[in-house]
């Protein structure tokens, strides 16, 4: 009986350590980098580093008061554009092949095309995603 318990304890310890390391890496705040933010190797979604860089970007880089060309110089081409905002995908949650939720960084412009505000918008059918 003792020989069975030991391997199970070792496996449990390994899984626990792996989970802690994973959660720590997910919560890491990476310094913002234009090159990393703009690089996209996955056609199904935004660069994974965007989530980790978001806090540094919004806290340490002045996004308000920029012209559209300055936003593009900083963040690259937007993933979506409408008459008053640029949208940059942060995360996308899929069920099968269909996107069902995610987060976008929306940067809003006034009538003089100067950024006036930004916010992270959680979209989709379930607002309680765990990323």
CATH fold, domain 31-124, is Beta-lactamase Inhibitory Protein; Chain:B, domain 1 (3.30.1450)
Structural domain spans, the chain = 1-30, 31-124
Half-sphere exposure of 2 (CA within 13 A, CB side): 0
Residue range 49-77: mean pLDDT, rounded: 95
Among 38-42, 96-100, 105-109, 127-131, name the most confident range: 105-109
Residue 97 clears pLDDT 90, i.e. is over it: no
The predicted model scores a pTM of 0.73
Distance CA 101, CA 91 (A): 8
- In which band, very low, low, confident or very high, does the pLDDT at 80 lie, cut at 50, 70 and 90? very high
State the Cα–Cα distance between residues 114 and 100, nearest whole angstrom. 31
Count the helix, strand and coil residues of the chain and give each as a percent rounded to the nearest 5.
40, 25, 35
- Looking at the predicted structure, is the pLDDT value of residue 52 above 70? yes
Question: Per-residue pLDDT tens for 36-50?
Answer: 998 876 777 898 899
Indicate if the pLDDT at residue 100 is higher than 60. yes
């Amino acid at each position: 009986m003792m020989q069975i318990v030991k391997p199970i304890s070792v496996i449990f310890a390994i899984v626990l350590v792996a989970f802690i390391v994973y959660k720590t890496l997910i919560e890491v705040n990476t310094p913002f980098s234009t090159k990393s933010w703009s690089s996209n190797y996955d056609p199904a979604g935004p660069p994974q580093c965007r989530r980790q860089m978001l806090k540094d970007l919004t806290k340490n880089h002045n996004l308000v008061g920029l012209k559209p060309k300055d936003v593009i110089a900083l963040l690259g081409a937007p993933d979506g554009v409408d008459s008053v905002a640029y949208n940059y995908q942060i995360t996308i949650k899929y069920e099968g092949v269909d996107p069902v939720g995610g987060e976008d960084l929306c940067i809003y412009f006034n009538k003089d095309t100067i950024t006036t505000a930004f916010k992270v918008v959680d979209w989709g059918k379930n607002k309680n995603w765990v990323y």
